[in-house]
């Protein structure tokens, strides 16, 4: 059994999360900015399907990318060098979330519902949630969004309408975060896609320790603007 959160309930200790399904910690609560910022600061994120209660997760191990461990394949390097794209940041946040919410296969559902879009848009307006967008021929071709606290970026979702479009946005994001002094990107759960870019799993205990060192935040964040230096 997992605890049910009321609006003012604190999160339970991370070590109480279930082993199966991996990392399920609690249910209930809300998606207010205060609750979301508290969750990310503790290494917890919401993930639930439409019609389900809000579910909170902290998996063990945790998939992360350290910026200096980014891997760029030869084919991706070729896509980056083409220069047939424009990177925009925090320009079309809702559009990025909606694109990430689109079913990935026929008949598939999505966990990014209107409730989630509303909640993260509020964080975006406060300067904590950000979108990185790849535009080609005047159209949104791919991108990603996530939450930034202190020197940690918590990636949430990515999408591509054209091959490598989301990866192009991701590489620009990682390079910029490295220039800004960010030390860790949270990728949540292991996927082959993220592993191909250099992400790896670390124990939850190690992840939590790093968060304590790296996470700090003011009452409000700020909109982002990238340097747009050449990505090698």
pLDDT by residue (tens digit) across 40-92? 999 999 999 988 999 999 999 999 999 999 999 999 999 999 989 999 999 99
If pLDDT is split at 50, 70 and 90, which confidence band does 104 have? low
Cβ atoms 74, 206 nearer than 8 A: no
With tokens 């791919």, the residue in question is 142
Number of Cβ atoms within 10 Å of the Cβ of 11: 19
Cβ atoms 76, 166 nearer than 8 A: no
SS3 letters across 12-80:
CCHHHCCCCCCCEEEEECCCCHHHHHHHHHCCCEECCCCCCCCEEECCCCEEEECHHHCCCCHHHHHHH
Cβ atoms 101, 110 nearer than 8 A: yes
Region 142-167 average pLDDT: 97
94-125: buried (b, 16+ CB within 10 Å) or exposed (e) per residue?
Answer: eebbbbbbeeeeeeeeeebbeebbebbeebbe
- Within 13 Å, how many C-alpha atoms sit on residue 59's CB side? 17
The yes-or-no verdict on residue 218 having pLDDT over 80 is no
pTM of the predicted model as reported, rounded to 2 decimal places: 0.94
In tens, the pLDDT along 158-192 reads 999 999 999 999 999 999 999 999 999 999 999 99
Give me the phi and psi of 60, to 5 degrees please: -135, 115
Average model confidence (pLDDT) across the chain: 93
Hey, what domains does the chain have and what are their CATH numbers?
Answer: 4-59 (3.30.70.3550), 63-214 (3.40.630.70)
Question: In sequence order, which residues have a C-beta less than 8 Å from that of residue 146 and are 6 or more positions away?
Answer: 129, 130, 153, 154, 155, 156
169-198: buried (b, 16+ CB within 10 Å) or exposed (e) per residue?
Answer: bbbbbbbbbeeeebbbbbbbebeeebeebb
The yes-or-no verdict on residue 6 having pLDDT over 50 is yes
With tokens 């919401």, the residue in question is 46
């Amino acid at each position: 059994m997992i605890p049910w959160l009321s609006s003012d309930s604190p999160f339970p200790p991370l070590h109480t999360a279930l082993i199966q399904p991996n990392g399920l910690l609690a249910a209930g609560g809300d998606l207010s900015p205060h609750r979301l910022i508290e969750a990310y600061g503790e290494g917890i994120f919401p993930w639930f399907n439409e019609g389900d209660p809000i579910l909170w997760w902290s998996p063990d191990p945790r998939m992360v990318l350290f910026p200096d461990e980014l891997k760029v394949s030869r084919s991706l390097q070729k896509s980056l060098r083409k220069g047939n794209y424009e990177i925009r940041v925090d320009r079309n946040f809702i559009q990025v979330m909606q694109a990430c919410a689109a079913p990935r296969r026929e008949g598939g559902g999505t966990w990014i519902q209107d409730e989630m879009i509303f909640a993260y848009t509020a964080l975006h307006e406060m300067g904590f949630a950000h979108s990185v967008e790849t535009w080609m021929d005047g159209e949104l071709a791919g991108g990603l969004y996530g939450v930034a606290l202190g020197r940690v970026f918590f990636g949430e979702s990515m999408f591509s309408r054209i091959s490598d479009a989301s990866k192009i946005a991701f590489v620009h994001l990682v390079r910029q975060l490295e220039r800004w002094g960010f030390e860790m990107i949270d990728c949540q759960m292991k996927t082959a896609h993220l592993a191909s870019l250099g992400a790896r799993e670390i124990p939850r205990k190690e992840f939590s320790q790093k968060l304590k060192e790296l996470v700090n935040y003011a009452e409000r964040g700020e909109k982002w603007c990238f340097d747009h230096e050449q990505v090698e």
